[in-house]
Amino acid sequence: MAECHPVGFQWVMEAKDRGATVIHVDPRFTRTSALADRYVPIRAGTDIAFLGGIVNYILANELDFREYVLAYTNAATIISEDFRDAEDIDGLFSGFKPDRHAYDSTTWQYEGQPTLTAGGADTNNQRATAGPLLHESHGPPLAAGDHRRDETLRDPRCVYQILKRHFARYTPEVVEATCGVSREAFQAVCEAWTRNSGRERTTALVYSVGWTQHSVGVQYIRTGAIIQALLGNMGRPGGGILALRGHASIQGSTDVPTLFNLLPGYLPMPHHALHPTFDAWVGSMSAPDQKGFWASARAYATSLLKAYWGDAATADNDYCYDYLPRMTGDHGTYETALSMIDGTVKGYFLLGQNPAVGSAHGRAQRLGMANLDWLVVRDLFMIESATFWKDGPEVATGEVVPERCATEVFFLPAASHVEKEGTFTQTQRLLQWREKAVEPPGDARSELWFFYHLGRIIRRKLAGSTQARDRAILDLTWDYPESGAESDPSAEAVLKELNGYEVATGKPLSTYVQARDDGSTAVGCWIYTGVYADGVNQAARRKPGSEQSWVALEWGWSWPLNRRILYNRASADPQGRPWSERKAYIRWDDKQGKWIGPDVPDFEPTKHPEYRPPEGATGPAGLAGDDAFIMQADGKAWLYVPSGLIDGPLPTHYEPVESPIRNPLYGQQANPARRAYQRPDNQLNPSPPEAHSDVFPYVLAVGRLTEHHTAGGMSRNLRYLAELQPAMFVEVSPELAAERGLEHLGWAHLVTLRSAIEARVVVTERITPLRVGGRVLHQIWVPYHWGGQGLTRGDSANDLFGIVLDPNVLIQENKVGTCDIRPGRRPTGPALRDYIAEYHRRAGVTPERRSPIVTTDPHRED
């Protein structure tokens, strides 16, 4: 955090000054470790074993915050008697279908519950479409009715007992053997975390892409969520799980998604088979008689279609539902890159993004682009993704020859952040409006300008078309006010559309509760409703922090409805009283008959804590006055996830797909439901039980530096930053340096089945060899910012990685892999490919080879 979110880290230091204990768990010692009370080195890719050990410690010693757990989580809920745990089937859960390496999740449900997830019980469809990503704003649907609970938590089929059995083998000894973390250090973390949680105290958990970029990344975060829910740290001040996101508006680009499977506000992009009709589409989002706020999904969906298609969208034509394109499977960025290699994609837009450096398997990315008809690159600087045809690594190897590369490339300069106005959504869902300081230089334009005018030109060219397919583009509402010499469209008008308005009057809505399913409201992104309440740009509010409460509600605007801590109803006990005065936040005030506190209550403002829903109540009225988790269909935080996840209802330790060791816990080596692309140009390094894993004996971890930014386009071209971090390097321990003859500041190269890259060697104790599974294991760390352009140039770490994805959200595993390291520079020119071919031969990898995915007998029961 000190490295990659430095200014946010000032608050950690402030907490430390006031007595907080700071613990840092990371494969590499960083500036964060230097300032922490305790630094715990860990083997990359083993966080579920580590965190699972903590869950086991909590449950074995009954250290959970029992009152919180009973009231606010699904610990007491009874699960189907047909459920079989990964502990019973050697690393697989019940319902595994080996032919598709996907699950049928029927047996995972609450007792008596049908499966209602968007894709049905078959997780294969959900994996292709990253279905679980929908649940960033809300839980999956549940049928109405109460679920059987055992408030004593003794029933062997209640979630609490299932959890306890699932993690019982995650002992300190197993943590040590798996993660390389000493028993003493592990014990210290367990004690500090549990001691600092409960009525009087809360603990915050912070993570970043070190958790997401794994083949089992979603389940890492789930394990953290289980701990935080068991210890009562959710919805309370000083608690929570904080995802530190790496780009200025990466949260915004998920909320208002440029993602294939989502529409704004986490509505699903329709699937051809699952959502052939409007009713099927809306029905998949929430059960008709569902409890909670997501029950209003129909209003959000209708209002989005009204925002898109205005007058053309009517009840008679299902609000133009048939204008929406349909998914048939995986259309994600990696599938798309491989489709470029296969020649089915003709054109590509890159908007401030540099996949030649920033995406896994850089070579596949560049070969894909070299096979396009046309490419549009919009950026501030000339980046590697624009010049691959001229001076990319494949030009050096002879795989791309400019005279034979057909890709037509348009480079269009972009406006910088001070040359346009608009909102970024930062890491805590806070929208902040930026004013425009100056006009962009030369041909530089904003994306708003580019897309507005591109749309205008396309609509002009298609005007008068009688083709059915062109109705959607011609009926689109596309009339934003223009101003200035360059006819800039109004960003504020777009913000108003995101907020939503009454169709008849144009009056902005002030809350998403006002969204209607009868076509009388238009809402571009329902979770952003309120950002333009009363016709005022709430994201532009700038009341100085020193002049308002510590929650600072009048600086910017956060979704939903300016709430700063989500699920803050849980900061009070079931009766509505603060758990302790020390941790008071939101409380029920009987005199005023409403919830009060320094934040906007994340609850119906006047719902009494003792309210109990009448029989058959649905929607928000179906939630009781102590159902704190209002976006969940049962109002509870889910320790166990009966639906909505593809790789199991509970986190389970799987080895990274590329790992030098055999899974110490299960016969199933790696995530059996991972999204794999098994093809000759995407071979992964062999891992046990496959032979030849010793060809790539080292664990490779990748990260960022304070002084550079992601793929480097915005940092390698800056004088100060290029001077502060002037060269690509690799960090190795003194022990590994001795083992491989690597010299400090000399050259070394790293090799995988994809490529080899070279870097300057930094021999440092920041990397410690770990004892894992009875042997010494070396880890290697590289930053991934470099490429062939800019003031500082070097090889790209992402060239080392293949493509294998987390099945829930289709994020790649490039925080961990295996590699070889050798002293000296790598071969250049065509010799580089020969060198890699030699590694293929040594690893026994032929073009036909497929990595085994299921490594245990699915029919076995222990």
Q: Which of 6, 347, 545, 830 binds ligand SF4 (CB under 6 A)?
A: 6
Taking CB under 8 A as the rule, does residue 608 contact other proteins? no
Taking CB under 8 A as the rule, does residue 444 contact other proteins? yes
How far is residue 677's CA from residue 675's CA, in Å, rounded to a whole number?
A: 7
Give the 3-state secondary structure of residue 287: coil
Give the 3-state secondary structure of residue 243: strand
* Residues 118, 126 contacting (CB under 8 angstroms): yes
Taking CB under 6 A as the rule, does residue 7 contact ligand SF4? yes
Burial of 726: CB neighbours in 10 Å, binned 0-12, 13-18, 19+: middle
Q: What amino acid is encoded at 196 in this protein?
A: N
Q: Which CB atom, from 459 or from 822, has the smaller least distance to other proteins?
A: 459
Q: In the numeric block, which tokens belong to residue 678?
A: 């098994």
60 binds, among other proteins, ligand SF4, none (CB under 5 to 8 A by kind): none
Q: Which CB atom, from 167 or from 424, has the smaller least distance to ligand SF4?
A: 424
802 backbone dihedrals φ, ψ, rounded to 5°: -95, -175
Taking CB under 8 A as the rule, does residue 472 contact other proteins? yes
242 binds, among ligand SF4, other proteins, none (CB under 5 to 8 A by kind): none
Taking CB under 6 A as the rule, does residue 496 contact ligand SF4? no
Q: In the numeric block, which tokens belong to residue 89?
A: 């089937």
Taking CB under 6 A as the rule, does residue 468 contact ligand SF4? no
264 binds, among ligand SF4, other proteins, none (CB under 5 to 8 A by kind): other proteins
How far is residue 715's CA from residue 189's CA, in Å, rounded to a whole number?
A: 36
430 binds, among ligand SF4, other proteins, none (CB under 5 to 8 A by kind): other proteins
Binding range to other proteins, per CB under 8 A, among 39-47, 535-543, 766-774, 846-854: 535-543
**801, HSE (Cβ side, Cα atoms, 13 Å):** 33
594 binds, among other proteins, ligand SF4, none (CB under 5 to 8 A by kind): none
- List binders of other proteins among 765-824 (CB under 8 A): 791, 809-812
Binding range to ligand SF4, per CB under 6 A, among 4-12, 69-77, 351-359, 511-519: 4-12
Nearest residue to ligand SF4 on Cβ basis: 7
Q: How many residues sit close enough to ligand SF4 to count as binding (CB under 6 A)?
A: 3
* Residues 44, 179 contacting (CB under 8 angstroms): no
* Residues 233, 203 contacting (CB under 8 angstroms): yes
Q: Which of 87, 497, 758, 813 binds other proteins (CB under 8 A)?
A: 497
- Nearest approach, Cβ of 655 to other proteins (angstroms)? 22
How far is residue 147's CA from residue 629's CA, in Å, rounded to a whole number?
A: 16
Q: Which CB atom, from 324 or from 503, has the smaller least distance to other proteins?
A: 324
Q: Which CB atom, from 751 or from 811, has the smaller least distance to other proteins?
A: 811
361 binds, among ligand SF4, other proteins, none (CB under 5 to 8 A by kind): none
Nearest to 671 by CA among 220, 187, 260, 348: 220
Q: Which of 1, 3, 5, 160 binds ligand SF4 (CB under 6 A)?
A: 5
- List binders of other proteins among 364-423 (CB under 8 A): 373-374, 376, 378-382, 386, 389-390, 402-413, 416-420, 422-423
- List binders of other proteins among 69-108 (CB under 8 A): none
Pairing of strands 557-558, 430-434: antiparallel
Taking CB under 8 A as the rule, does residue 487 contact other proteins? no
Binding range to other proteins, per CB under 8 A, among 424-432, 515-523, 676-684, 755-763: 424-432
How far is residue 11's CA from residue 30's CA, in Å, rounded to a whole number?
A: 18
Give Dmax over CA atoms of the chain in angstroms: 80
How many CB atoms sit inside 10 A of residue 182's CB?
16
Nearest to 478 by CA among 461, 465, 493, 468: 493
How far is residue 782's CA from residue 756's CA, in Å, rounded to a whole number?
A: 13
Binding range to other proteins, per CB under 8 A, among 17-25, 180-188, 271-279, 742-750: 271-279
Q: Which CB atom, from 86 or from 430, has the smaller least distance to other proteins?
A: 430
Taking CB under 8 A as the rule, does residue 453 contact other proteins? yes
- List binders of other proteins among 547-576 (CB under 8 A): 548, 550, 552, 555
How far is residue 177's CA from residue 376's CA, in Å, rounded to a whole number?
A: 50
Q: Which CB atom, from 509 or from 772, has the smaller least distance to other proteins?
A: 509
How far is residue 795's CA from residue 729's CA, in Å, rounded to a whole number?
A: 9
- Nearest approach, Cβ of 383 to other proteins (angstroms)? 10
3-state helix, strand, coil in the chain (%, to 5): 30, 15, 50
How far is residue 825's CA from residue 846's CA, in Å, rounded to a whole number?
A: 26
DSSP 216-276: THHHHHHHHHHHHHHTT-TTSTT-SEEE--SSTTTTHHHHTT-STTEEGGGEEPPBTTT-S
Q: Please give the residue ranges that form the binding site for ligand SF4 (CB under 6 A).
A: 5-7
